[in-house]
Amino acid sequence: MSAIELRKVCKKFEQANKQLRNLRVLDNISLKAKKGEFIAVFGPNGCGKTTLLNIIAGIEKSSSGSVRIDGKCPALAKVGFVFQNYNESMLPWRTALGNIELAMEGQKISKKDRMRIAEHYLKKVGLSRHKNKYFYELSGGMKQLIAICRAFAYDPDILLMDEPFSSLDYSTTRKMELELLNVWRETAKTTIFVSHDIDEAVFLADKVIVFSKRPARVKGIIEIDLPRPRKLEMLSSKAFIRIRNKMLRLSEYET
């Protein structure tokens, strides 16, 4: 059984102005993720990537088609979600540690264990020395790493990440990706990571699903056969550039 399976998922949004036709966003999306797989969904802005994640998480309903997580409908699955804008989901008046711990409140885990788990993830991403800082005191990259730690600490069945690094500069983004892979490697959570950054998608994933412009269709699925652990030097390797070019040919960006 696949950890995540989408079959022919379509999504149309009704327009507020009834004169306008429904907005077609997802067109027959089928995809599968095996347990422990890291899938990147790569597509242009506005093509429907966030909508796809919302449907997998059960936040939004598809117009047709089916979504299964470990064979269950999304409402019954434990889904970790890292949003594009960290400020929407984190508490500025709590510390770094306090925000991660929040994921475990309401679960049957003692305060002591919650702190231990939160500290463990902070250490994994190299932020131990910032543990007692308030969330608002941290940089954008650190904030997203805290959001990522929180999603892992929740111990979900699957993890969904919506362009978590899209507001960061190139080199900070690459550093954050390495930290993310550090944590991911330990837990091997099935992950769907949405991105409009070609280097990011190739660097992180086992498999990249290339979306077209809206309405998003699957244009192709590319296996990333780069070894793990991934290293920054790989960004300039022949294998990386070969995969990158293949993706460029598949995507809208080809000339």
Kindly tell me which of 167 and 187 has the beta carbon lying closer to ligand ADP. Answer: 167
- Which of the stretches 47-55, 123-131, 171-179, 232-240 binds ligand ADP when contact is defined by CB under 6 A? 47-55
The answer to the question of residue 214 lying near ligand ADP (CB under 6 A) is yes
Residues 153-212 that bind ligand ADP (CB under 6 A): none
User: How many other β-carbons are positioned within 10 Å of the β-carbon of residue 42?
Assistant: 26
- Minimal distance in Å, beta carbon 173 to ligand ADP? 17
Secondary structure letter of residue 114 according to DSSP: H
- Minimal distance in Å, beta carbon 131 to ligand ADP? 32
- Minimal distance in Å, beta carbon 163 to Mg ion? 6
The answer to the question of residue 253 lying near ligand ADP (CB under 6 A) is no
**CB hemisphere CA count around 206 (13 angstroms):** 15
Size of interface with ligand ADP, in residues (CB under 6 A): 12
The answer to the question of residue 219 lying near ligand ADP (CB under 6 A) is no
Cis-peptide, bond into residue 92, ω within 30° of zero: no
Three-state SS string across the chain, please?
CCCEEEEEEEEEECCCCCCCCCEEEEEEEEEEECCCCEEEEECCCCCCHHHHHHHHHCCCCCCEEEEEECCECHHHCCEEEECCCHHHCCCCCCEHHHHHHHCCCCCCCCHHHHHHHHHHHHHHCCCHHHCCCEHHHCCHHHHHHHHHHHHHHCCCCEEEEECCCCCCCHHHHHHHHHHHHHHHHHHCCEEEEEECCHHHHHHHCCEEEEECCCCECEEEEEECCCCCCCCHHHHHCHHHHHHHHHHHHHCCCCC
- Minimal distance in Å, beta carbon 55 to ligand ADP? 10
Give the per-residue contact string, 17-36, with ligand ADP (x = CB under 6 A; - = no): ------x-x-----------
Please identify the residue of the shown chain whose CB is closest to the bound Mg ion: 50
Q: Which does 204 bind (CB under 5 to 8 A by kind): ligand ADP, Mg ion, none?
A: none
User: Can you tell me which residue has the tokens 């475990």?
Assistant: 104
Kindly tell me which of 95 and 212 has the beta carbon lying closer to Mg ion. Answer: 212
- Minimal distance in Å, beta carbon 20 to ligand ADP? 11
Choosing from 27, 38, 50, 57, the residue that interacts with ligand ADP (CB under 6 A) is: 50
Kindly tell me which of 83 and 154 has the beta carbon lying closer to Mg ion. Answer: 83
For β-strands 218-223 and 207-211, DSSP reports them as antiparallel
- Minimal distance in Å, beta carbon 13 to ligand ADP? 4
Q: Which does 23 bind (CB under 5 to 8 A by kind): Mg ion, ligand ADP, none?
A: ligand ADP
Residues 85-104 that bind ligand ADP (CB under 6 A): none
Question: Which residues of this chain interact with ligand ADP, rule CB under 6 A?
Answer: 13, 23, 25, 43, 45-51, 214
